[in-house]
Structure 1
Amino acid sequence: MATLNKGILGGFSGKVGTVVGANWRGKDIIRSRPKVSKRNPTDKQLTQQLKFKLAITFLQPVKNIQSQYFGAGSGVRSRVNLAVSYTINEAIEVVKDLPELIYNKVLITKGDLTGFQNAVLTTQVGGVLHLEWEDNSTQGNAAPMDQVSIVCYCAELKNFEIFGGIVMRSDLMADVTLPNYCIGKTMEVYVFLNNEKQTSASTSFYLGQHPVI
């Protein structure tokens, strides 16, 4: 059943015969109904489907960050689309016919804001992560008021812990405390900066794998 949105000459939603009407990004579009394939997918197609599912599932918790700070969305490709595409093509490898994430190639953000200089992360008892970096607030387009964010991912728990805008670039250090259920687990840790107006960000930096104590 189809619904006319703006009268008989306007857009519609739903199915009419062999076409489907929908509103996508504020535009009324019409496309043909997809044909149901009777062919079994090839091994390559199955692998690509698994890679896509892995990327979508993994990135879902950071979708809001990426919708704001991953590249520059244009046309039909949103920033989230770009993040998924990057992850599939650059941060996933196939091992024994199954896709696996390459954590040191994962990007949480992708942008042109000047990043960290010599960032170092250490762990402390009680689930504390201690981050230090050098002052580079006069380099490129960096500014002292740029905000620091830390993103942690636990593969065992399949869970993100996100600490957004916790300090400024000029603070040169930051401490965050992970929940108790993270103690004894291992975290993949990423950091990024965004400007004060929240209009641009640096490309995220991978700080390595860290056991939480």
Structure 2
Amino acid sequence: MGKISQGVLGGFSGKVGNIVGGSWKGIDYMRIKPSNVANPRTQGQLDQRTKFAKVLNFLQPMTEFLRVGYKLYAIKMTQFNSAMSYQLQNAITGDYPDYSIDYSKVLVSKGNLLRAVGGAVESTVAGVVKLSWIDNSASGGAKATDKALILLYNADKQIAVYDTAGAVRTVGTQNLSVPTDFSGDEVQAYLGFISEDGTEVANSVYIGAVTVA
């Protein structure tokens, strides 16, 4: 039985027929309970599930980072779901069932703050990856105090290493330590920025891939 909590025009919780009501983050919602179908594994459904699984596996290791990187785009959804939506629409390549992630099109942070320019990545010291960028703090709304958002993704091990409060924009470089067993592995490098007070975030930039020394 459904229960009306705020009068006739308010939200309700529970079930009335095939309508289910509830509340999430203070937002009332209603949805239709799907009816059973003889064969739910249609080609379209399989296609979508395969894409979804591919993006989910990619993003799960960086969940905590995405809570910062997508904090401004979590409108009526979680930061993770917002990131899922973006990658599904923009970063999937290939044909069913052989989908893959196009790392160059991934955004691990999203916002209107001026993004990084002149990014580069290298690894010449064991267990250390060095990122560098050009100081563009005099351009647009960028500030010298903006902090780097750095993420390295190891696809072979499905591990992400990151820093959500890195070096400030004017420094132009930062070393990030990685696990010792990353030696010889390729990692994908991303660089973004977040304002000192955390109210502005920049779109991340794909810096490229590098083999860890």
Verify same fold: TM over 0.5. Answer: yes
1:45 paired residue number: 45
1:209 aligns with 2:209: yes
The question of whether the paired residues in 1 share the 8 Å contact of 2:2 and 2:16 is answered with no
Show structure 1 runs of 5+ residues with no match.
none
Displacement after TM superposition at 1:197 (Å): 1.0
How much is the aligned-residue C-alpha RMSD, in angstroms? 2.6
Change (3 A) 1:3 1:182: farther
TM-score normalized with structure 1 length: 0.86
Residues 59-118 of structure 1, C-alpha deviations (whole Å, 9 max, x = no match): 233344434433854764555444222211221112462211111111101222112221
AA aligned to 1:196 is E
1:160 paired residue number: 160
The question of whether the paired residues in 1 share the 8 Å contact of 2:188 and 2:208 is answered with yes
1:31 paired residue number: 31
Change (3 A) 1:75 1:123: closer
Alignment of 1:1-213 (within 5 A): 4=3, 6=5, 11-70=11-70, 72-73=72-73, 76=76, 79-95=79-95, 97-213=97-213
The separation in 2 between residues aligned to 1:94 and 1:74, in whole angstroms, is: 28
The question of whether the paired residues in 1 share the 8 Å contact of 2:65 and 2:162 is answered with no
SS in structure 2 of the partner of residue 44 of structure 1: helix
Change (3 A) 1:89 1:6: closer
The separation in 1 between residues aligned to 2:197 and 2:134, in whole angstroms, is: 22
SS in structure 2 of the partner of residue 171 of structure 1: coil
SS in structure 2 of the partner of residue 93 of structure 1: strand
AA aligned to 1:28 is D
The separation in 2 between residues aligned to 1:120 and 1:192, in whole angstroms, is: 13
AA aligned to 2:198 is Q
Which deviates more, 200-209 or 13-22? 13-22
The question of whether the paired residues in 1 share the 8 Å contact of 2:161 and 2:178 is answered with yes
Identity %: 29
Change (3 A) 1:57 1:3: farther
Change (3 A) 1:8 1:140: closer
Residues 108-145 of structure 1, C-alpha deviations (whole Å, 9 max, x = no match): 01222112221221112221111222221110011000
Residues 126-183 of structure 1, C-alpha deviations (whole Å, 9 max, x = no match): 2111122222111001100000121011110011111221211111211111111211
